[in-house]
């Protein structure tokens, strides 16, 4: 029943990696989505061994991207290498916002297209997929100018599907009346690299980053998303990825139990 | 040079209506966008006389909509009557979010379409246009499930252009890579009822409602918007509509001066 569930590490940000891995293994979880900062702090090789020795796999590595930074090329090559070392099939890309003082969103978007093109050969050589994540439009200026699944698919289109895919994150996409058509298109184009669940709750906090709800606590039709992504042919892991200060303040194992329960309610109700 | 400038009253929320009207007249401003709460408090007929005696016109009345409330029909008919009494060509519609506990965004959107259809006869009879405003997707759950200009145009499409139009507000639409095409479509379909300027600044405050910047203080290509809306054939007023606690804390006349200066920089730089 939780074969496809994965815990994204950001959901339990302060749970130390070794405890998180042990807690997931105890709960019967098969995969974890990891974050570079935590993995680097622990040691990449050591983290890879820890996860694999516990019988888990890495569903994705977060995150590359931020193509608005001067060192984006070297940073993203390093991130691809780390993903490969962890056995993660995908590197999630948060592509960056406008550079300081810029209003040229077209130029920022064009630059992302070029940057991804430059990274494709390395992605292919290490066997890790670049997974373009469209972020909610409220993050357009400061985190990610890729604001819709359509844009992400257009950015991926020039490249082989094994090199470049997209992330479907319910939190970022639920408001879009085109999303169901776009998920079907993503499936036809074999681009779905990662599927992440988080719920929409209000009021949004200052800065809006830490406003996500655990699955089932908000207003998103998560079962409909699960069904649509399934119908599009995706059969990989489904990550629960929630950022919220109140969630982070709780013990990791308790959050994991809630994440699993929320996930189970969705996959059992949402599928035909 | 400021022939087409209009001050939306929400920009100077705490400026009493009589002072606002006098301040606008002194500054050579020709139009104001008014809000129902303030107008009702002052008295609708009295407000109409005040504005017209000062040589101003009302560019729009904010706001109708909120079709998720039980009394939407009567409220919107009243709002149309008030707009007519003020001589406002348009009633701006903020269409409402999901009803409490609902996750059915499709149903909410369908209901808006039906509600607008029911209001069209009264709008035609009083000569006021229903102006559907797409709000930024971050407001989708709690304020407005109409999240893109494309959706607003689709909702307007079944009705005569003189009865139903759309609002183009830079703050809500700037992130959308389809917006330039959609503005052109809005022009072809003669749907542009209202054009509002506000800038995007970060970080967003808690609740995200009061996070707008005066024109020129943020990252939106406002000149490009002015040019696109002009090219689409719109020749009406251009309202500056900003909600921000820091702006509200300042004297109305000073905010008006900044709003005019921001507007002038945009229309002089943005037009070919």
pLDDT tens string A130-172: 999 999 999 999 999 999 999 999 999 999 999 999 999 999 9
CA nearest B219: which of A264, A105, A266, A224?
A: A105
pLDDT above 90 as % of chain A: 97
State the smallest CA–CA distance between residue B92 and chain A in angstroms.
21
Q: Residues for chain A: how many in total?
A: 272
Which residues does chain B have within 8 Å of residue A204's beta carbon, measured at their own beta carbons?
138, 204, 206-208
- Of the candidates B138, B151, B177, which has its C-beta nearest A204's C-beta? B138
A107–chain B Cβ distance below 8 A for any pair: no
Judge: A221–B103 Cβ closer than 8 Å, yes or no: yes
- Residue A269 pLDDT > 80: no
Count of C-beta atoms within a 10 Å radius of residue B219: 22
Report the relative pairing of strands A192-197 and A199-200 from DSSP bridges: unpaired
Distance from C-alpha of B218 to C-alpha of B206, rounded to nearest angstrom: 18
Distance CA A38, CA B80 (A): 57
Q: Which of B159, B151, B176 is nearest to B167 (CA)?
A: B151
Q: Which residue of A has its CA nearest to B145?
A: A175
Q: What is the chain A residue with the closest CA to B102? A: A219
CB contact under 8 A, A142 and B103: no
- Alpha-carbon distance A185 to nearest alpha carbon in chain B (angstroms): 18
Q: pLDDT digit string (tens) for B222-244?
A: 999 999 999 999 999 999 999 99
Residue B271 has what pLDDT? 44
Does B202 sit within 8 Å of A206, measured CB to CB? no
pLDDT band of A51, cuts 50, 70, 90: very high
Neighbours of B72 (CB within 10 A): 20
Q: Give CA–CA dist A136/A155, Å, rounded.
A: 17
Q: How confident is the model at residue B272 (pLDDT cuts 50, 70, 90)?
A: very low
Mean pLDDT confidence for A88-111? 96
Helix axes B105-126, B72-86, angle to 10 degrees: 40
Is residue B30 a contact partner of residue B260, using CB atoms and an 8 Å limit? no
Residues of B in contact with A138 (CB under 8 A): 136-138, 204, 208
Unique residue bearing structure tokens 């130029």: A107
Residue B201 pLDDT class (50, 70, 90 cuts): very high
For B26, the enclosing helix (H) or strand (E) is: helix B17-26
C-alpha A85: how far from chain center:
18
pLDDT tens for A106-125 read 999 999 999 999 999 999 99
pLDDT digits (tens, 9 = 90+) for B115-158: 999 999 999 999 999 999 999 999 999 999 999 999 999 999 99
Of all residues in chain A, the percent with pLDDT exceeding 70 is 99
Residues of A in contact with B141 (CB under 8 A): 175, 200, 202, 218-219
Considering the entire predicted model, what is its pTM? Answer: 0.97
ipTM: 0.96
State the burial class of residue B8 (Cβ atoms within 10 Å of its Cβ: 0-12, 13-18, 19+): buried
B67 touches chain A (CB under 8 A): no
Read off the pLDDT of residues A8-42 as tens digits, 9 standing for 90 and up.
Answer: 999 999 999 999 999 999 999 999 999 999 999 99
For B203, which of A102, A105, A206 is closest by C-beta distance?
A: A206
């Amino acid at each position: 029943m939780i074969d496809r569930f994965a815990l994204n590490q950001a959901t339990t940000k302060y749970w130390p990696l070794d405890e998180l891995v042990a807690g997931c293994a105890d709960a019967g979880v098969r995969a974890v989505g990891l974050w570079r900062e935590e993995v680097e702090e622990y040691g990449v090789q050591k983290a890879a061994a820890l996860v694999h020795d516990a019988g888990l796999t890495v569903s994705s590595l977060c995150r590359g991207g931020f193509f608005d930074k001067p060192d984006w090329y070297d940073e993203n090559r390093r991130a691809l290498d780390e993903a490969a070392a962890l056995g993660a099939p995908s590197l999630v890309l948060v592509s960056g916002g406008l550079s300081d003082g810029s209003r040229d969103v077209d130029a920022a978007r064009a630059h992302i297209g070029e940057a991804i093109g430059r990274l494709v050969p390395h992605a292919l050589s290490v066997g890790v997929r670049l997974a373009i994540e469209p972020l909610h439009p409220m993050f357009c200026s400061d985190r990610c100018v890729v604001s819709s699944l359509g844009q992400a698919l257009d950015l991926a289109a020039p490249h082989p599907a094994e090199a470049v895919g997209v992330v479907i994150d319910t939190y970022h996409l639920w408001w879009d009346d085109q999303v169901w058509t776009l998920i079907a298109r993503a499936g036809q184009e074999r681009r779905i690299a990662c599927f992440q669940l988080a719920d929409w709750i209000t009021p949004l906090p200052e800065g809006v980053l830490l406003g996500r709800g655990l699955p089932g606590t908000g207003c998103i039709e998560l079962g409909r998303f699960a069904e649509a992504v399934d119908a599009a042919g995706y059969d990989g892991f489904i990550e629960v990825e929630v950022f919220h200060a109140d969630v982070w303040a709780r013990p990791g194992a308790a959050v994991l139990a809630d994440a699993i329960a929320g996930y189970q309610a969705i996959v059992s109700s949402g599928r035909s």
